[in-house]
Structures are given as C-alpha cells and as structure tokens.
C-alpha cells in the first residue's frame, strides 16, 4: 500500500535540502569573491600608502606597471568607489579611512565643468561615501558637482553636452553638441542632488536628457548609437556616429551596458515605465544577439569584424550584471537575476578574475577602453572592478532579503 504523505514528506525534505545547498553555495560564492577583492585591494592600497603619495590606479601599462591618473581623469572616482564598496561588503572599518582619503583627494572635481563625467567621478566616490556613512560635508560636494554638470545642459536641445566640441579629435569630427550614451550614467548625480537639495532643477535636467536620449539614441533593434550630435540652438539631430565603437552603425558593447544601466537607474528615481521598458528592450538586444558568446562576456563591439577573434570586454559585462541585479528588483521575471548570476559566475572564473598578486592588483582581466584609439586593449580597468563589486553588493543584498 502506498503512503502518499510519507512520499510527500520525503520530497519536501529533498527540496528543502536542495534549497539549503543552493543558498550555501551562493553565500560561499559571495564571500569568496569578497575575500579575493579584499586581498587584491589590500596589496593595491599598501603599495600606494608605502609611496607616501595619493595615487589613483586606472589600468596597467604595456610593461605591466600600474598606470596612475590625475584627479581630472574621468575614471578617477572608480578606485575610491571600489574602496567604499569593499568597506560595505566587509563591514571592516580598516577600509573607512582609506575610502575617505582617496575620495577627498577628488575635492576639486566638484567644480569641473569642461566635461560631463563629473557624474561618474563624484557619484562613485562622494555619493557612495554619503550613502554609507552620511558624512555631512559630502552632501555639499554632491550638490556643487551637480551644479557644475548642469552648466553643460543645452536648453534648446534638451540635453547635457558630453564633450566640448572645439578641441582635439572632437573638433576634427565637426560636432557641435555631441552627446554620448555614457552620459546616461551621470544622471544619477542630478537625481540625488535634487533629493539632497530640494532643487527640482537637477531632476528636470536629468529627465529631459533621458527623454531626448530615448528618442534619438536608439535604433529599431533597440541597440544604441554611441554619439548623437545636436545643433545646440535648434535641437536638431545632425549626426549619429561612434567614437569608441567599430563603426557608426555598429553596437559598441559598453555603450549597450551604459544604456541598460542608465535607464534602469532612471526608473529608480522617476518610476517612469518608459525607462523600465527601454531597459528591458536593451536586455533583449544584448542577450538575443547571435554574436554574444556563450559565457555572456561580450566582444568589445557586437559587430566587430573578426569575431570570434576579437577582444572581450569584462567592463561591459560587469556593468550589465550590476544593472540586471537592480532590474530584477523591479520586475518579477526571474531571467534578469539568472542572467546576472551567470555573468558573475563567469567573471569570477580563472578566465577573467586574476590571481591574487597579479594583474596590477586589479580584480578583473580582459577589458577594452577604446580600440579605435588603440588604448587599453585587453587590460584591467578600474571601472570593470567597480561594477563587479557593485554587482556583488547588490547580489548580497538580494540574497539577504530572500
């Protein structure tokens, strides 16, 4: 005679055991990656502290030495930002004075007005610091940085101009008001400054920029252009091109990651469903793309001519993973969480994650800065590490809630 209740009980125990094993594996994965990052950044910060200087590592040089950058480099916020994330992930106060020291070395950035990346620079450093320890002085820096970024808003076009168009290779392209998809990432600074100051001007600038980008930056297949050039006096779109992608009509991998992350973040602040739907559309473009490798770490451009013999871009993958963890909290569809987990598992493999003590003490290998400019090809990049750590933090928070 069958005993259905006994059978049901055994099935429940098997299921419970399986879930417990999975939770333990996830916990182990998170902790192991925290330990790895802590080991690498301990070596990194020890080297800097021993120099007696305040240095800011961005990547490695051709000879393997660490490439340090000045305060006004667009990547200067990512290293202190990574220290803040390690502090948050470990809850170890040893990292706090280091995070403050490297962050406060960027004090002058709040007044920078000659490019749009002040959002990256202050958002990853001061904004994380304010979120984690609510240091009073950081609030004023965030608001001032938002004021500086707002000086680049062109009201008639409704966008924030990314680069000045009267110098260097930008001038050679004949642009008037170039806007790059990367600029979506800087809107977080404006949204936060609006909350902190009560000044809705920042909010409205951010929304205007997001709306114009939504209309003008995307193709019918939901991929995005890198650069859209506007007439600042009429708002007319003059050109749709690229600076760091393979061609004007190709899909630069990190640009797609910026778009996915940017519109997910914009939904956080506005709850505008158009932004959420755009993030979902970008997801579909990326993960249904026939040129996306099986391990989900993209080639530097989805249309690069020599695939599969093209460099991968771990920075695009880590940014995408971080965005997807946030997106998974807004949508009940489990695919966003599962995809983020797969990306992180592959980034944490020996193929992409460096052994402790190697790789200039950066966590991830195999990123690409700008292949058309012949710079930073198949190297570590500080922003690849930053978004990997942010994704790890978001994964940890999701697991804690569940």
Q: How far apart are CA 306 and CA 118, in angstroms?
A: 35
Instruction: List the beta bridge partners of residue 66.
Output: 60
Secondary element (H or E) of residue 154? strand 153-154
Q: How far apart are CA 283 and CA 286, in angstroms?
A: 5
Secondary element (H or E) of residue 308? none
- How close are the terminal C-alpha atoms of the chain, in Å? 40
Q: How is 25-82 classified by DSSP, letter by letter?
A: HHHHHHHHHHHHHHHHHHHHHHHHHHHTS---EEEE-TTS-EEE--TTSTTTTHHHHH
Which residues are CB-contacts of 260 (< 8 A; sequence separation ≥ 6)?
279, 282, 283, 286, 319, 320, 323, 324, 327
Give the catalytic positions in this structure: 117, 182
What does each C-alpha distance from 392 to 31, 90, 146, 232, 324 come to in angstroms? Answer: 10, 12, 27, 40, 12
Q: Measuring CA to CA, which residue among 137, 118, 129 is closest to residue 88? A: 129
Residue-level length of the chain:
402
Beta strands in 163-251 (DSSP E): 178-180, 227-230, 237-241
Half-sphere exposure of 244 (CA within 13 A, CB side): 19
């Amino acid at each position: 005679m069958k005993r259905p209740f006994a059978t049901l009980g055994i099935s429940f125990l098997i299921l419970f055991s399986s879930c417990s094993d999975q939770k333990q594996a996830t916990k182990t994965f998170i902790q192991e990656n925290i330990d790895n990052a802590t080991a690498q950044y301990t070596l990194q910060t020890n080297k800097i502290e021993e120099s007696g200087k305040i240095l800011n590592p961005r990547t490695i040089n051709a000879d393997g030495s660490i490439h340090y950058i000045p305060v006004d480099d667009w990547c200067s916020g990512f290293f202190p930002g990574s220290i803040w994330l390690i502090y948050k992930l470990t809850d170890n106060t040893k990292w706090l004075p280091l995070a403050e020291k490297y962050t406060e070395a960027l004090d002058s950035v709040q007044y920078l007005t000659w490019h749009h990346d002040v959002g990256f620079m202050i958002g990853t450093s001061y904004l994380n610091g304010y979120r984690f320890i609510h240091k009073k002085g950081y609030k004023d820096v965030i608001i001032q940085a938002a004021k500086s970024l707002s000086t680049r808003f062109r009201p008639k076009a409704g966008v924030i101009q990314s680069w000045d168009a009267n110098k260097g290779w930008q001038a050679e392209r004949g642009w008037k008001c170039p806007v790059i998809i990367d600029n979506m990432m800087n809107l977080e600074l404006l949204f936060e400054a609006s909350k902190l100051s009560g000044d809705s001007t920042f909010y409205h600038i951010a929304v205007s920029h997001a709306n114009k980008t939504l209309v003008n930056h995307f193709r019918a297949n939901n991929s995005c252009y890198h650069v859209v050039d506007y007439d600042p006096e009429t708002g007319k779109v003059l050109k749709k091109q690229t600076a760091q992608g393979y061609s004007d009509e190709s899909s630069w991998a990190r640009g797609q990651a910026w778009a996915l992350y940017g519109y997910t973040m914009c939904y956080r602040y506005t709850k505008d469903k158009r932004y959420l739907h755009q993030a979902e559309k970008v997801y579909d473009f990326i993960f249904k793309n026939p040129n996306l490798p099986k391990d989900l770490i993209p080639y530097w451009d989805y249309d690069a001519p020599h695939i599969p013999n093209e460099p991968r871009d771990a920075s695009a993958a880590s940014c995408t993973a971080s965005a997807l963890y946030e997106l998974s909290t807004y949508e009940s569809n489990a695919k966003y969480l599962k995809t983020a987990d797969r990306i992180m598992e592959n980034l944490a493999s020996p193929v992409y994650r460096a052994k402790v003590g190697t790789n200039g003490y950066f966590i991830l290998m195999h990123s690409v800065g700008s292949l058309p400019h012949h710079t930073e090809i198949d190297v570590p990049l500080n922003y690849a590490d930053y978004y990997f750590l942010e994704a790890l933090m978001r994964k940890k928070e999701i697991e804690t809630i569940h």
